[in-house]
Structure 1
Amino acid sequence: MNFLKNNFILAVFTLLVATASCSFTNDSIDPGDKEKEQLLVNLISHVLKRNHFSPADLTDEFSKDIFENYIQDLDPGKRYFLQSDYEEFQAYQYLIDDQIRDSKVDLFNLTYERLLKRQEESEKIFAELIEVPFDFTIDERINTDYEKIAYSKDKKELENHWRKILKLSALGSYYDKIEEQKEELKENPDKKQKSLEELEKETRAEMKKSMLENFDNNDDVERLDYFALFINAITTHFDPHTNYFPPQNKDRFDTSMSGKLEGIGARLQKKMDYISVLEIISGGPAWKSELIEVGDKILKVAQEKDTVATSIVGMRISDAVELIKGPKGTNVILTLKKVDGSIEEITLTRDVVQIEETFAKSVIGEDDEYRFGFINLPKFYFDMEDANGRAAGNDIAEEIKRLKTEGMDGLILDLRNNGGGSLREVVEMAGLFVEEGPVVQVGLKDKRTRTLRDSDSGRILWEGPLVIMVNEFSASASEILAAALQDYDRAVIIGSAQTFGKGTVQNFEDLNQWVRNNQFGDLGYVKLTTQKFYRINGGSTQLEGVKSDVVTPGRFSYIEVGERDEKFPLPYDEIEKADYKKFTGYTNLVETIEKAQKRVNENPNFKLLDENAKWLSDQREDNDIPLNLTAYAERLDRLEKQTEKFESLSDYKNNLNFDMLSYEKALVKTDSALGDKREAWIRNLEKDIYVNEAVSVLKDLRMNNIKNDNKTKWSVKD
């Protein structure tokens, strides 16, 4: 029950702090900002009209949709704007299309300046409310479906809205303190008991500290960040994956796709003006130096040729990061306030830092009679700047070779929560499992299509049993690979009823290339949809996703997630089939799938998972929350009784054993952090019911006994 309750409270507080921001000043807005914004509107609208796969028509209906989405995104919790503000904004409801044509941003200027004003007012509201004790004996409730509630009519109503939100967040912590004290008194009856008033005061003090830290962090939000929100309200009307990327956002995207950066190898966070070290990345300069540790505060940054260090106290964290990172081989000098309070100056030589969580990883697993390989692929990564850099296709090939050395009889490829990546890597990876042939068909803007093929027929690395695991968040490139191997009858797909349903291809377009004598600095990029991809059987994964061969229930089975639940997705369609030969290496594919589905349907744990998913879906609709302690406790008690039947799910343990590969065992001897991560991963795999079923499928699959003649294992498509 504590797990359920704590997650609920965390969600409430996260929503609160994620949408609260204050302490903005509006002393002056650089006229150059407005000129730059007008230029960006002009450029982006031109690029979208010219290069988007299916450009949207600029109509009044288009304008209305953008207006509603933008205002909702700007103030999702209705914590700032009043009803009178909204009515004033409505003057632009049907004018955005005209403003785009004229390269105007009048609505943005109005809403941005009003937001700054309202945020400052809301910080004052918070400062006053947090000093007043909460009365948890009053019978009152809050509707947490903020999208459906009305804007506050006046400041008094807005203050009451803030009070209820703060009270809900405080109530969870207050309840926990009462329960914790009860447990402590059971163990030590002589311990001094705090009064309810003292516990309430502690709750407000903790909440005040957290909120002030959040307000301080949100000072980092700049005008360009809000302008990007406005622009993306426009771009996502073309389709959900067309977005504007300011320069720093593009850098972060590149890092996430390549899994590398050049810097010191430390993750940072900002709290109350101070930027401190949150994590040391294994293998990076900070880790190798042993001169810096988690919790150290960075006070100043100097480059090797600087005579004066730059203070980063109070600096926007993204700007501080820009100072600290830099090209491989260069030095950066950091002034640290160590955890023990001492002040030290250290010099680190920047290097290429690998972000290990980006890359494929594998373990060897076994039960009493079967040995299998398990590979997890978080994304289809590639290095946009270095053709010889790490790429998913090559890494998966290496993992397969290592697993074969370990003696695997079957292979599981885990694409759960893999949101996609490089189309090229999909083609490379498919070629590890199938003969030469088509992998995916690509539809172009002019209605032409082209087929991407695996041309390296000699590179097949694994011809044995293959299972691919997916869920609702397996998207894009994940869906291409799963679809291709399903169409070839090469793999059994296990997971959610369907995957995410993103059947489109995006490319980045540099906006700077369109401007001569640019006086505004880096203008950023547009990531826009330029193609749609299709299965080799002629179908599309757009909206439909990939239907699993063996459908397993999951926590999102009854919750709207996926492309089909976006507001403006591109439609589903089909094209002609490609010419391909199916894999005939399995002698019992259909029977194996039928047997597995029957096993899942009859499995009491899967039945319980399905029941839990239905319950979770129902709870998402329960947005009427009591703010009275007694009623709140009764609600939690009722939820606890309802969830008791699901507790066995958290105790589930499969009968599989997992072990790191030989080469990683050598690595963890000198990298304890990597060892800790692998051990945590293995513990999760040992509790994974889905992996257990995947292994059962591998064991059921029977291979054609002809091992040496590849051609006998492929037939002309049906």
Structure 2
Amino acid sequence: MRRYFFRLFCGFIVILSLVSITFGWSVDRSQVLTSLTWHILEEWHYSPRELDDQLSQDAFALYLESLDPDKRFLTKADLEEMQKYERAIDDEIKAGSSRLMELSSWLLSQRIQEVQAMAKEILAEPFAYFVDEDLELDAKKRDYADGPGELRELWRKMLKYQTILTYLDLVAAGEEEVNLKAIDKEKEAQAREKVSRNLQSTLERLLKDSKEEAFYRYINAVTRSFDPHTAYFTPEKKEDFDIEMRGTLEGIGARLQEEGEYIRVVEIIPGGAAWRQGELKQGDLILQVAQGEEEEVVDLYNMRVTEAVRYIRGKKGTEVRLTVKKPDGQIVTIPIIRDIVVLEESYARQALLTPARTGEEEARKFGYIYLPSFYRDFADVKGRSAAADLKKILQQINEEGVDGIILDLRDNGGGSLDDALRIAGFFIPSGPLLQVKGREKTNVFWDPEKGTVYNGPLVVLINTLTASGAEILAAALQDYDRAVIAGNRTFGKGSIQSILELDHFLPLDLGGLKPLGSMKLTIQQFYRVTGEPIQYHGVAPDITLPDPYGYIEAGERTLKHALPEERLASLEYQKWERPADLDGIKAKSSQRVAVNQSFQQIGEYVEKINKERQETRQSLHLAEI
């Protein structure tokens, strides 16, 4: 039945194509994208859903969250107006319409314009800084405003809070002592003016949100009602995803951020094009950009940094000319020839550790490897990959004659499954590593490597943000008794995604709609060789250590519409012949943790942050900030 519907959709695309040719009708891009996205979800998603009212309600709730997550603009009346579409998203998808998106975008635009005018009035006069009142900072504990009056009061308090913080920064930067019992009128006026300028800049950017951005929010509300990792990527967001995966990009080699109405250079990447050219510096403001000497200049004033980088990035060997304002006020034009930018921090790194010993014990040496992700350049077979880099590092560390290796997978969010499996094979002679279950069958993934690269003692560090491919590696090493796993329970992402280029589904005569973007689609779940799920559960450490992220609510179990856990039968496999003495290690670790000052400070820090997170009402009395 699903294949019938997908063939029906392909027929629909062909009919659209013929109609557009015969009658000269224009084909709506968002209509094609919506239909295509739905049919891909229905045909290939690991856990498909019915296109019904329940899906509509789930997608509607997710859409509202993305539309105004901090409840700063929309009112209860706006929600009531949109509520008529709560059970109609399924009908809109079938009809190829987008009335909810159009209505919500219009309402949000209207409210933003109202806030613009409102904020100017509020910030025109000083606040009463010594009045006992407070502001609820946690939007989850606030309801939407009951009307214009309540919305204005919310903004009055938010602007007062921002002004107080800005005022205190200005006073602290001066030479005089901070006096919380009296107001410096000049600095107070400067604070209000700065808050007003920054806010108006932010609101202008929100108003300029493209139709594509609005559609991006809408279609991803539908995809995330299937699971939190299925997503539609605009062409620009797909480019960012590719850069993250391969660790390189073509551009000038500078990190940028928004600062008020301008784009500021916050870092020059060593070895990059801008670094070699030498004129662009940290702290410079980029005002304009042109593609070479003869091309039209584009003003970056009040532009989002995500949009600005589209003009600054470009093919290796091409020229970009940046008009820059230096910290001393000088305006200069800097020509830079773009090149490959290598993001070294995204690659594996190593170090040799020689901890101090007491008494007559011999000094020992340990290899430390930090692996931030399972990166791979899928567009270049000769490009860098996590497995190839790690193999070289292990070979180098072996030559040093180390007493053991620490493999740090903390904050590793996954990446290439192939690299995760190859790396597991570096430590295990042979055997199954993973079970992968699709909609129709379950496959077993075996060790792709012959023999091992390293046979000595191994510790793997994990934390709450260790996810996906990193969990596969940690689980395999734990199941084989090959490593001691230390840290905290991992994220619990037990699903596999595939990237589909949506342009491939279009007939040639609809090529004018390209680029459509891409879809990251959940197609499988993976399980340990024991049959136990990683989904929801994650990987529990053998040795638990105090967690600096203990205050964060993270993990698959905290995400809406996460796939349910399942269990499979265990596979037969041969465990490591020289397992560590876990009981002895646990006892010694507990003793060390109990007396270690750094670990005690982590516990105190987490307790402090958790307490502060509970106290979300902020006083707006100047002396109590």
Do these two structures clear the TM 0.5 threshold for a shared fold by scoring above it? yes
Distance 1:351 1:437 in 2: 43
Distance 2:258 2:132 in 1: 38
**What do residues 226-261 of structure 1 show as CA deviations (whole Å, max 9, x unaligned)?**
221111111111001001100000000100110001
Distance 1:402 1:122 in 2: 60
SS for the counterpart of 1:398 is helix
* AA aligned opposite 2:392: E
Match of 1:308 among 273, 286, 295: 295
User: Does 2:621 correspond to 1:628?
Assistant: yes
SS for the counterpart of 1:202 is helix
**What do residues 368-402 of structure 1 show as CA deviations (whole Å, max 9, x unaligned)?**
23211111111111102012111111111222233
Deviates more, 1:338-347 or 1:414-423: 338-347
Deviates more, 1:197-206 or 1:107-116: 197-206
SS for the counterpart of 2:141 is coil
SS for the counterpart of 1:147 is helix
Q: CA 1:242–1:248 in 2, change beyond 3 Å: closer, same or farther?
A: same
* AA aligned opposite 1:354: V
User: Does 2:456 correspond to 1:464?
Assistant: yes
Match of 1:266 in 2: 254
User: Does 2:247 correspond to 1:254?
Assistant: no
* AA aligned opposite 1:126: A
Match of 1:714 in 2: none
**What do residues 657-693 of structure 1 show as CA deviations (whole Å, max 9, x unaligned)?**
xxxxxxxxxxxxxxxxxxxxxxxxxxxxxxxxxxxxx
Match of 1:211 in 2: 199
**What do residues 239-292 of structure 1 show as CA deviations (whole Å, max 9, x unaligned)?**
010011000000001001100011222223444554443322111121112233
Match of 1:110 in 2: 103
Q: CA 1:347–1:606 in 2, change beyond 3 Å: closer, same or farther?
A: closer
5 Å matches for 1:293-442? 293-303=281-291, 307-314=294-301, 317-368=305-356, 369-442=363-436
Deviates more, 1:585-594 or 1:481-490: 585-594
User: Does 2:130 correspond to 1:140?
Assistant: no
Q: CA deviation at 1:431?
A: 1.6
* AA aligned opposite 1:494: A
Q: CA deviation at 1:56?
A: 2.0
Distance 2:410 2:559 in 1: 20
SS for the counterpart of 1:134 is coil
**What do residues 612-644 of structure 1 show as CA deviations (whole Å, max 9, x unaligned)?**
4244223322222222234x25xxxxxxxxxxx
Q: CA deviation at 1:407?
A: 4.0
Match of 1:609 in 2: 602
**What do residues 281-332 of structure 1 show as CA deviations (whole Å, max 9, x unaligned)?**
111121112233234444554445x733333343554454333322223334
Distance 1:587 1:164 in 2: 58
In the alignment of these two chains, the number of paired residues is 591
Q: CA 1:136–1:323 in 2, change beyond 3 Å: closer, same or farther?
A: closer
**What do residues 44-88 of structure 1 show as CA deviations (whole Å, max 9, x unaligned)?**
110000110001223322222222221122112221112211111
Q: CA deviation at 1:602?
A: 6.0
Distance 1:471 1:62 in 2: 33
Contact 1:217/1:272 (8 A) holds in 2: no
Q: CA 1:206–1:138 in 2, change beyond 3 Å: closer, same or farther?
A: same
Match of 2:497 in 1: 506
Match of 2:5 in 1: none
Match of 2:480 in 1: 488
Q: CA deviation at 1:456?
A: 2.1
Q: CA deviation at 1:140?
A: 1.4
Match of 1:568 in 2: 561
Contact 2:484/2:580 (8 A) holds in 1: no
Match of 2:52 among 59, 76, 82: 59
Match of 2:531 in 1: 538
SS for the counterpart of 2:519 is strand
Distance 1:62 1:143 in 2: 32
5 Å matches for 1:275-290? 275-290=263-278
Distance 2:194 2:400 in 1: 52
- The TM-score with structure 2 as length reference comes to 0.88
SS for the counterpart of 2:525 is strand
Q: CA 1:326–1:605 in 2, change beyond 3 Å: closer, same or farther?
A: closer
Q: CA deviation at 1:107?
A: 0.8
**What do residues 581-622 of structure 1 show as CA deviations (whole Å, max 9, x unaligned)?**
111224534422343245435656535533542442233222
* AA aligned opposite 2:340: V
* AA aligned opposite 1:475: A
Match of 2:215 among 197, 205, 227: 227
Distance 1:318 1:430 in 2: 37
Q: Provide the alpha-carbon RMSD of the alignment.
A: 2.7
SS for the counterpart of 1:58 is coil
Q: CA deviation at 1:415?
A: 1.0
* AA aligned opposite 1:478: A
Match of 1:515 among 489, 506, 525: 506
Distance 1:179 1:313 in 2: 32
SS for the counterpart of 2:102 is helix
Unaligned runs of 5+ in 1: 1-31, 634-718
- The TM-score with structure 1 as length reference comes to 0.77
Distance 2:27 2:203 in 1: 26
Q: CA deviation at 1:150?
A: 2.3
Q: CA deviation at 1:425?
A: 0.7
Q: CA deviation at 1:225?
A: 1.2
Match of 2:279 among 291, 295, 310: 291
Distance 2:615 2:306 in 1: 38
Contact 1:437/1:455 (8 A) holds in 2: no
Q: CA deviation at 1:194?
A: 8.3
Contact 1:81/1:151 (8 A) holds in 2: yes
Contact 1:270/1:317 (8 A) holds in 2: yes
SS for the counterpart of 1:373 is strand
Match of 1:556 in 2: 549
Distance 2:408 2:239 in 1: 28
Unaligned runs of 5+ in 2: 1-24, 357-362
Match of 1:170 in 2: 163
Distance 2:383 2:83 in 1: 50
Q: CA 1:523–1:203 in 2, change beyond 3 Å: closer, same or farther?
A: same
5 Å matches for 1:560-709? 560-586=553-579, 588-600=581-593, 603=596, 605-607=598-600, 609-630=602-623, 632-633=624-625
Match of 1:672 in 2: none
Q: CA deviation at 1:434?
A: 1.2
